[in-house]
Amino acid sequence: MSEKKETMSRVSKKQSGKKKNSEPTKNKKQFSKVTVKKMLWIVLAFIAAIIIGSAGLFIYYASSAPDLTEKDITGSISSDILDDNGDVIYTLGGQNRKIATEDQIPQVLKDAIISIEDQRFYKHNGIDPIRIVGAALANVTGGFGSQGGSTITQQLIKLAVFSTDKADQTLKRKAQEAWLAIKLEREYSKEQILTFYINKVYMSDNNYGMSTASDYYYGKELNEITLPEAAMLAGLPQSPNTYNPKTNPEQAKKRRDLVLDMMVENKKLPTQEAQKAKTIPVEENLVSLTEEKANELVFDSYLKEVISEVEEKTKLNPHTAGLTIQTNLDMDAQKRLFDILNSDEYVSFPDQNLQAAVSMVDVKTGQLKAIGGGRNQEVQLGTNRAADMNRSIGSAMKPLSVYGPAIEYLNYSTYQQVVDEPYEYKSGGSLYNYDRKYLGPITMRKAIIDSRNPPAAKTLQEVGYADSTSFLKNVGIDPTKWNNNTGLVESNAIGGEVTPIELSAAYAAFSNGGIYTKPYTVSKVTLQDGEEIDLTPKSKQAMKDSTAYMITDILKDTVNSGSNQNLVPIEGVPQAGKTGTTNYTDEEKVKHNIPDDGVPDSWFNGYSSNYSIAVWVGYDKKFEDGNWLSTSSQQLPRKIYRSLMSYVSQSVENTDWEKPSSVVEVAVEDGSNPAKLPGPNTPIEKIVSELFIRGTQPTTISTTFGEKLKAPTGLKATYDREKDEIAIKWEKYIVTDKKESVTYILTIAGQTIETKDLSYIAQKPAEGEIELTLSVKIKDQYSPKTTVSVTVLPKEEKEDSSSKDSSSDSSIESSKPESSSESSSESSSESQVELEIESSVESSSATQSSKKPITNSAN
């Protein structure tokens, strides 16, 4: 019984234990179920909150969306461009729009547009959720706006109300755009919306709408275009200038072929037809510009800058905003510049491929008055080399990066002595001059005029990169972008990448007393409501007036020296300027078969007191066969400059620059270092006038030439008939400084002998009266001359006289007592040229009776 109880007790305990062990497991399962449900509800609640929040935010943004009218969709308010006289020269936007109706749009164009832009166009209600999700996934990695999810309807909204700029693609703008797209789809049919889009899009070269583009590119009505042409037009709106078939045929073909592929994908075109269309050159059937369009090319580069400037400074679209844009364009100057570059009437160009770029700026205001972006341009709003081309300006950089800063920060004078000698770059390699020669110590003026390279490189090191950079930035040039954004290097003493517009404005500061104004094309913009926006930049003192004047004074000499004097000067127009040339490396010359005198770029920037004009000439593809500038072609920038400057200077007063009070002109002794004032005996040819910053001019008088030298004394010349020679003697010249070496300069019948002796024998002199002169030279100083003459008898008379009195002779001496016949202690280094002259054979006895020496006083 007790065993039974005991057994039952063990069983009950075991069951009790199992019961206890099972309770935690059940609790865990129950807890797990509760946790999952809670998490699920939290996620759902979060999603719901996002949806509700997004919907609320969408409604909030949509409520502030601007009104949309049919005028916004179909119309475009053009902008008027005015020249500096206030005359309308161009209407931007609305004028260049040819409206197409629904029945004029061919199906092939519709298929091409829908295939490349919005394949679900006929299925959505203005926004495409599938497209949006795809764009959203792309934007996760690319950032918001990296891929568009816009339908054709939304793109139309952007064109009509908003902006297509990437910077404007904000969440608020997207919400408003979507809302207006939905509204638009409710009010208009799909065909109407597609027609609106076709008439609204920008198609490059100031053409709006595909009907306008069809006429511009192909000379056809829209319903006459072919499959490849339709594909080309459909692909243009995404990036009109990039895919312009006239200017970028390679990119245009890629885009056209992509459209054809998308038409195949969208089942709008058989593969075989697409492949056949791809074989047709994208340039095929392109037409030339009309006469009206060709005339507009005269100021095309200027117009391109106007559009860019207005967009940058006002954030408005001048194509559609209905602006009145007051420019600084001098139409007469612009027309003349166009003719200079595109005809042989003023300048002869070697071929049609040679390019040029010109910028003309008013030195006092900074206004750009004329721009030449290139030669033989065929498209509107094409390449503007005056603004977009960055090529090294060669030695035209020297006044900007080297000598301007040297005057500004180191108080250099125009006389500052610099040494033209071999120079090695720290990075390796030698720096040479154009003539491969060196001049030794020269003035800064000479170094600039003759464009010597080593002095420029060494002076840049003296100035330092920091001050040079500061000077350049003050005149609108940012060298921190050079050399892979590392800033200045040694070679920037003789070059650096600058656009013609930047260069003309920088040199204008030299002309304008050191005052710099950022160059600009637009003075003001007037909005539709009459509000005016002043776009005139503020001027600033970029450098001291002393720096500007001293550089200008040197550059005035530059235009009147060397080859410049036959190419640049204009009567009645004071000018200053500097050339610049770049070079091929020796390896490039060998590789591309370029002659030794061939160069890739030639520059000239000249200026008057009114205008600064920068000119570049070269080839776009400088390594192609024949695309190098010969010696004669290197003169073209100066010829272009002179043709334009001479024309624009006719209608203005041309004054010379006035020396500011901060500058003094001082006569100094050439060769003195540091500069010294001339001494009383400094030869006139050793005196030069140079400019100094007031307070830094020299005050020490040079003693190089010491006291004024006196003429030598005791000069005596005696002719010996028997020996047939002239014996010449003179007194020793006394000097206060015994260390100074005296050289005697003796001239006999026009022949000069230098000696340190006190006598000289002239053998076999010519018959007749012979003049002798004597002077002394000490260092570089010469004394006045002492002069005597002696008569040499004919040979026969000498023979007759010899038989009668062999001891007779003819002697001429100075009025001073005869000097000692002993040689000076300095005679050991005599340098003389003996005079060997045969006597005449004619006889005469007229003067043989004289037995006593004849003595004459020196002249």
Q: Which residues are catalytic?
A: 117, 395
The region, left, alpha or beta by phi > 0 then psi within -120 to 50, assigned to residue 711 is: beta
Helix (H) / strand (E) element for 826: namely none
One DSSP character per residue, 556-604 reads: HHHHTSGGGGGTS-BTTB--EEEEEE----HHHHHHTT--TT-BSEEEE
CA distance 44 to 48: 6
Question: For residues 16 and 8, is the Cβ–Cβ distance under 8 A?
Answer: no
Amino acid at 494: I
User: What are the beta bridge partners of residue 326?
Assistant: 82, 524
Question: For residues 705 and 679, is the Cβ–Cβ distance under 8 A?
Answer: yes
CA distance 845 to 796: 8
The region, left, alpha or beta by phi > 0 then psi within -120 to 50, assigned to residue 575 is: beta
Question: How many residues in total does the chain contain?
Answer: 859
The region, left, alpha or beta by phi > 0 then psi within -120 to 50, assigned to residue 844 is: beta
Tokens read off for 338: 């166009």
CA distance 442 to 416: 8
| CA-to-CA dists, residue 634 to 96, 452, 613, 631, angstroms | 41, 18, 17, 5
Amino acid at 679: G
Task: Give 832: exposed, middle or buried? Use CB within 10 Å, 0-12, 13-18, 19+.
Answer: middle
Tokens read off for 465: 């990169």
Question: For residues 821 and 760, is the Cβ–Cβ distance under 8 A?
Answer: no
Tokens read off for 679: 């001494």
Question: For residues 455 and 388, is the Cβ–Cβ distance under 8 A?
Answer: no
| CA-to-CA dists, residue 777 to 583, 711, 735, 781, 831, angstroms | 47, 10, 11, 6, 14
CA distance 562 to 573: 19
Q: Is 834 helix (H, G, I), strand (E, B) or coil?
A: coil
Amino acid at 501: I
| CA-to-CA dists, residue 404 to 463, 546, 791, angstroms | 10, 10, 64
Calculate the CA 564 to chain-centre distance: 19
CA distance 332 to 87: 12
Name the phi and psi angles at 842, rounded to 5: -70, 145
Task: Give 419: exposed, middle or buried? Use CB within 10 Å, 0-12, 13-18, 19+.
Answer: middle
Q: Is 541 helix (H, G, I), strand (E, B) or coil?
A: strand
Tokens read off for 251: 């990119």
CA distance 406 to 415: 12
